[in-house]
């Protein structure tokens, strides 16, 4: 396959272009050569100057192309339907008191427990698809079977996407450029269409609308959060989304969760905000490194959620009045 000319390679596997670009290899004018012939045109001095090793590059190219083909095929091959956690031990060595915990796509589960109680360890167990080989001894099953090692080792196909309050945009790009870049790195067939889709979704979540030409670093907190959630829901390859709190300002959190669920994600949400925690149907209580209870949200709690949402609406309305310079009625 790397015996083909560069022109043919790029025609059949256009993502090869990024390999050359990231490795600073300018192939323009050499399209009629094979990769090996192209690399052979460098003199020994040029190779040393540019720190290039032709043999390694050729092997890397073959591996890269193989990985990209796998990556493109994955979405269709094995969609995740269930995530199962088999119990392990807490920090005192006590067995966790549940038999097996199966989460389904489009399900929201909240995680509660004091700081340092083991929320990150639980998350890391899921991220790493633990097989009894982490300090908790937990095991993770995907679709009721031990997971394919690709979940652990492939850099492009991670089980878990994360959203937290501390996350910021650091790239010097407009919203449009940012989404375009992400779509290209995901090998999305239609970056323009998915960019529009994410923009529409993000603006439905954000209190104040923003435009495609806004630099990502000048978005407000609520707008950043909205864009991150819409982008993760629609464009991230990870089937599980972990949320570490979503603050209540400038973003419609109910719609945000609905969007993630509509994209068939499993949502795990660490939160102590009752409005969020009760939106989940189940919640895991973590203590001393172990899952000590799995609670199903009761009808009484759902009724309580209704009351809390009304209270929240009263506060939100008052905030809005203040912002407009009005007196509180």
Partner 1 sequence: MNLTIVSGPPSSGKTAVILKTIAALKSRGVKVGVVKFDCLYTDDDKAYAEAGVPVQKGLSGALCPDHFFASNIEEIVRWGKQSELDLLITESAGLCNRCSPYLKQVKGVCVIDNLSGINTPRKIGPLLKSADLVVITKGDIVSQAEREVFAARVSSVNPRALILPVNGLTGQGAYELSTLLYNPDLQVETVQGMQLRFPMPAALCSYCLGETRIGQAFQLGNVKKMDLGEPEA
Identified binder of partner 1 from the candidate list 12, 102, 143, 185, rule CB under 8 A: 185
3-state secondary structure of 228: helix
Cα dihedral angle (155, 161, 163, 169), rounded to 10 degrees?
A: 40
Stretch that binds partner 1, among 63-71, 200-208, 263-271, 283-291 (CB under 8 A): 63-71
- Indicate the helix (H) or strand (E) that contains 120: helix 119-127
Does position 89 interact with partner 1 (CB under 8 A)? The reply is no
Q: How many residues does the chain have?
A: 329
Does position 153 interact with partner 1 (CB under 8 A)? The reply is yes
Q: Toward partner 1, which CB reaches closer, 241 or 280?
A: 241
Stretch that binds partner 1, among 54-62, 260-268, 278-286, 321-329 (CB under 8 A): 54-62
Identified binder of partner 1 from the candidate list 4, 34, 105, 120, rule CB under 8 A: 120
Whole-angstrom Cα distance, residue 199 to residue 188?
Answer: 16
Does position 277 interact with partner 1 (CB under 8 A)? The reply is no
Q: CB burial class (10 A; 0-12, 13-18, 19+) of residue 112?
A: buried
Does position 178 interact with partner 1 (CB under 8 A)? The reply is yes
Does position 135 interact with partner 1 (CB under 8 A)? The reply is yes
Evaluate whether 198 touches 235 at the Cβ level (below 8 Å).
yes
Stretch that binds partner 1, among 55-63, 188-196, 206-214, 266-274 (CB under 8 A): 55-63
Does position 180 interact with partner 1 (CB under 8 A)? The reply is no
- Indicate the helix (H) or strand (E) that contains 275: helix 274-277
**Residue 196 CA neighbour count, 13 Å, CB half:** 3
Site string for partner 1, 193-232 (x = CB under 8 A): -------------------------------x---x--xx
3-state secondary structure of 291: strand
Stretch that binds partner 1, among 1-9, 93-101, 117-125, 297-305 (CB under 8 A): 117-125
Identified binder of partner 1 from the candidate list 10, 124, 141, 295, rule CB under 8 A: 124
Does position 155 interact with partner 1 (CB under 8 A)? The reply is yes
Whole-angstrom Cα distance, residue 312 to residue 327?
Answer: 19
Evaluate whether 25 touches 61 at the Cβ level (below 8 Å).
no
| Closest residue by Cα to residue 219 from 198, 234, 202, 235 | 202
Evaluate whether 216 touches 224 at the Cβ level (below 8 Å).
yes
Residues that bind partner 1 (CB under 8 A): 18-19, 21-24, 48, 51, 53, 56, 59-60, 63-64, 67, 120, 123-124, 127-128, 133-135, 153, 155-156, 161-164, 166-171, 178, 181-182, 185-186, 224, 228, 231-232, 235-237
């Amino acid at each position: 396959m790397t015996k083909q000319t560069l022109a043919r390679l790029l025609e059949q596997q256009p993502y090869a272009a990024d390999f050359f670009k990231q490795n600073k290899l300018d192939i323009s004018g050499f399209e009629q050569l094979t990769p090996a012939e192209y690399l052979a045109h460098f003199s020994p001095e040029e190779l040393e100057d540019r720190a290039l090793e032709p043999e390694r590059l050729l092997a890397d190219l073959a591996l890269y192309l193989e990985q990209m083909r796998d990556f493109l095929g994955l979405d269709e091959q094995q969609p995740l339907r269930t995530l199962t956690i088999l119990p392990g031990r807490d920090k005192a060595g006590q067995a966790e008191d549940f038999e097996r915990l199966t989460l389904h796509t489009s399900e929201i589960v909240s995680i509660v427990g004091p700081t340092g109680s083991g929320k990150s360890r639980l998350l890391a167990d899921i991220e790493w698809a633990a097989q009894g080989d982490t300090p908790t001894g937990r095991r993770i099953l995907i679709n009721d079977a031990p997971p394919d090692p690709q979940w652990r080792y492939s850099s492009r196909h991670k089980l878990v996407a994360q959203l937290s309050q501390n996350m910021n945009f650091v790239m010097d790009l407009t919203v449009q450029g940012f989404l375009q870049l992400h779509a290209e790195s995901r090998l999305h067939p239609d970056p323009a269409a998915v960019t529009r889709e994410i923009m529409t979704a993000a603006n439905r979540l954000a209190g104040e609308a923003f435009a495609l030409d806004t630099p990502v670093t000048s978005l407000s907190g609520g707008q950043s959060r909205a864009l991150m959630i819409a982008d993760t829901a629609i464009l991230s390859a990870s089937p599980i989304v972990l949320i570490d709190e979503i603050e209540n300002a400038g973003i419609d959190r109910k719609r945000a969760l609905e969007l993630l669920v509509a994209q068939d994600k499993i949502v795990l949400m660490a939160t102590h905000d009752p409005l969020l925690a009760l939106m989940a149907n189940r919640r895991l209580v973590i203590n001393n490194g172990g899952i000590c209870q799995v609670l199903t949200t009761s009808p009484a709690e759902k009724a309580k959620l209704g009351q809390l949402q009304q209270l929240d609406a009263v506060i939100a309305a008052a905030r809005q009045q203040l912002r407009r310079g009005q007196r509180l009625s």
